[in-house]
Structure 1
Amino acid sequence: MPLTAALRRGALALLAGIVAASDASAADETDPHKLPVKVVADQRLAVTGAGGAGVLPLYVTGDWTRPEPAVTRAIIVIHGLLRDADTYLRSAETALSEAGDAGRGTLLIVPQFLADLDIAPHDLPAETLRWGRSSWTGGEPAHRPAPVSSFEAIDAILARLADPDLFPALQTVVVAGHSAGAQVAQRYAVAGNGEAALTQHGVHVRYVVANPSSYVYFSADRPLAAGGTGPFPAATCPDFNQWKYGFEAPPPYVAASTPDALERRYAARDVVYLLGTADIDPNHPALDKSCAAEAEGPYRFARGHAYFAYLQARHPTGFAQSLHDVPGVAHDGGRMLGSTCGLAALFDAPGCPAG
């Protein structure tokens, strides 16, 4: 018996829904950051935080379990959303090669913040730290084996470097990241506590923030279309000031200090922002398009310049940070770190004009 028009429309709607669900599932399965990582870093670091302990995979281009008197600089490079620490290690090694004499005495360290879905495919032990696919970018606690913050993991790396018996000649430590890794570097520069152990031994610490999707603001102001910043209309995005975009509902690691105290300390820290002038795609597949991120600007290049201007306005004196545009580069971590200003930020190599 033929279907009535209503039944036919219902059947077609059901079929369309099934196809759409199937397409969405296929997209999820092929979205790279939703797949297990291909390679897990070959070294391990024990991390103990306020909520327990775990083990962090990482790459280290040397044996940092014994004295390294030739090491004068350590660079920590934080991977992007794909958790592909091996890719970022190669980019860092390429940058080191391009730095020439400026790269002498450099130790490279690339931690790997794994997700829950990475553990079983690589048969990793239960003590391996793992987070949500992107929760590590804001210092959130690990899911297992204990609620260790990704920022506590960076603290542990800096604590190892601060040991004068292991690194008696260390002069500079750089915490650098691109894309999601830059989100970590920027927010760790705001909230991280590991720097103090190094400065006590006369070691300078710098943070390099390259092309992140977003930044943490210290107030409820956001960029205005006419220029400058002003109060954001919260009714259009009630969560715009939630952590990691603002200081509402921060994770325990961040909540231990007040935003005012963190801002004062942050303004005095050595932070270098690198922005690719061609990173201007408002529809880039890895761009954070949440309303909280969109409140900071339409794309990464604009968001970075707006944030830097915001900080300059709030800190007319005592501001120790700089911004450098990287001409012609879009969202490419290797080209950003290997640019003239990237090499200057990482290795103090010459050639980058004043920011």
Structure 2
Amino acid sequence: MRAENGFLGGLLRFAALIFAAAILAAGPAAAQADDSQIELSEKRGKFTFSGWDGPEITVWTYVPEGIDRTAAPIVMVMHGVNRDGWRYRDEWIDNAKQGGFIVVAPEFSNGNFPRAAGYNLGAMFDEETGAPRPEALWSYSAIEPIFDEIVARLGGSQTHYTLYGHSAGSQFVHRFLFMKPETRARRYIAANAGWYTFADPAIAFPFGLGGTAATEEGLRLALAKDVLVLLGDQDTDPNHRSLNRSEGAMQQGPHRFARGVAFYEAARAYAAQRGWEFGWQIRRVPGVAHSNSGMAAGAVALIE
């Protein structure tokens, strides 16, 4: 009996060594690929995303019961300045049930993506030196790989997504559009941004595209995209506690609603001057001020 136990124990140890060697030979990329196949939880869920060159990102999800998860529309929801992806996910749940779509809310923590420079301004420049950072480390560069992992976890066939953002998330969305014009985002919904990067290379970043990697061809593509500038018609408080009152922002208008209209009109004029296609729309959500839940209710019919 002892000999038999010794033989079995040795066999098990040998098998464990072979398995460990296979894992080491496959390397970290294989481990990441295996992890990405973990099925996305039905209803509320979350996972840690590390499948890109930047820091880890917590991704909050919601998959409504009873939908075809392999084909349902996907909306990527970008949170505001409080970096509360879980709350943004939760405020979209009733809309997801109503619309039959999947909610994905990446959370760009202050620790890994500090201040506006690290999140809604894209982490494109070193804060101390002002030098350009590698594109692979921009916060904008996480979105497409997150989409790939979501589809893998769903076992899905989705080929595109809607990108929605509110407040600082809206800033993320419209700058992502300019800096990453060739992505699988089919529709961009920019809701109630506090201030904007205008579609104009003659204006220095962050109030325009001057000094960035944006190209004329990229700008032409961005202006032709399906973009909805979504504005709460009551988001008109010129003294809101988080409103940017810098000189550059104040030149865009006294409050968020006015700045959104100015942003849209400037983009339309820029496209018209060059004879380019212009695919943007502006929509007002009646009775809503600076509220993600209010804007989400106004956006539910716009998810594709």
Q: Please, what TM-score do these two structures have when normalized by structure 1?
A: 0.63
Question: What residue in structure 1 maps to residue 76 of structure 2?
Answer: 76
Letter in 2 for 1:137: N
RMSD after superposition: 2.7
Whether 2:92 is the aligned partner of 1:95: answer no
Question: What residue in structure 2 maps to residue 166 of structure 1?
Answer: 155
Deviation at 1:296, TM superposition (A): 1.0
Secondary structure of the equivalent of 2:92? helix
Question: What residue in structure 2 maps to residue 149 of structure 1?
Answer: 138
Q: Distance in 1 between matches of 2:176 and 2:108?
A: 14
Q: Distance in 1 between matches of 2:278 and 2:138?
A: 28
1:56-110 per-position Cα deviation (integer Å, ceiling 9, x unaligned): 11112259xxxx753321000000000011110111112223xx3xx22x22100
Would you identify which runs of 4 or more consecutive aligned residues in structure 1 move more than 4 Å? 161-165
State the identity %.
26
Q: Distance in 1 between matches of 2:85 and 2:77?
A: 9
Letter in 1 for 2:210: E
Q: How has the CA–CA distance of structure 1 residues 160 and 268 changed in structure 2, closer, same or farther, with 3 Å as cutoff?
A: farther
Q: 1:240-319 to 2 correspondence within 5 Å?
A: 241-250=203-212, 255=213, 257-258=214-215, 260-316=216-272, 318-319=277-278
Q: Distance in 2 between matches of 1:192 and 1:220?
A: 15
Q: Distance in 2 between matches of 1:326 and 1:249?
A: 34
In the alignment, is the contact (CA less than 8 A) between 2:74 and 2:102 conserved in 1?
yes
Deviation at 1:302, TM superposition (A): 0.6
Whether 2:52 is the aligned partner of 1:48: answer yes
Aligned with 1:131 (options 110, 113, 117): 113
Q: Distance in 1 between matches of 2:181 and 2:149?
A: 14
Secondary structure of the equivalent of 1:110? strand
Question: What residue in structure 1 maps to residue 123 of structure 2?
Answer: 140
Question: What residue in structure 1 maps to residue 33 of structure 2?
Answer: none
Question: What residue in structure 2 maps to residue 23 of structure 1?
Answer: none
Q: How has the CA–CA distance of structure 1 residues 164 and 263 changed in structure 2, closer, same or farther, with 3 Å as cutoff?
A: farther
Deviation at 1:167, TM superposition (A): 1.9
Structure 2 unpaired stretches of 5+? 1-44, 127-133
In the alignment, is the contact (CA less than 8 A) between 1:158 and 1:194 conserved in 2?
no
Q: Distance in 1 between matches of 2:82 and 2:290?
A: 14
Secondary structure of the equivalent of 2:137? coil
Q: How has the CA–CA distance of structure 1 residues 274 and 71 changed in structure 2, closer, same or farther, with 3 Å as cutoff?
A: same
Deviation at 1:162, TM superposition (A): 6.6
Q: Distance in 1 between matches of 2:181 and 2:153?
A: 18
Deviation at 1:299, TM superposition (A): 0.8
Secondary structure of the equivalent of 1:134? helix
Q: Distance in 2 between matches of 1:164 and 1:78?
A: 20
Letter in 2 for 1:72: A
Q: How has the CA–CA distance of structure 1 residues 71 and 86 changed in structure 2, closer, same or farther, with 3 Å as cutoff?
A: same
Q: Please, what TM-score do these two structures have when normalized by structure 2?
A: 0.73
Structure 1 unpaired stretches of 5+? 1-40, 117-129, 199-203, 222-240, 348-355
Q: Distance in 2 between matches of 1:284 and 1:165?
A: 40
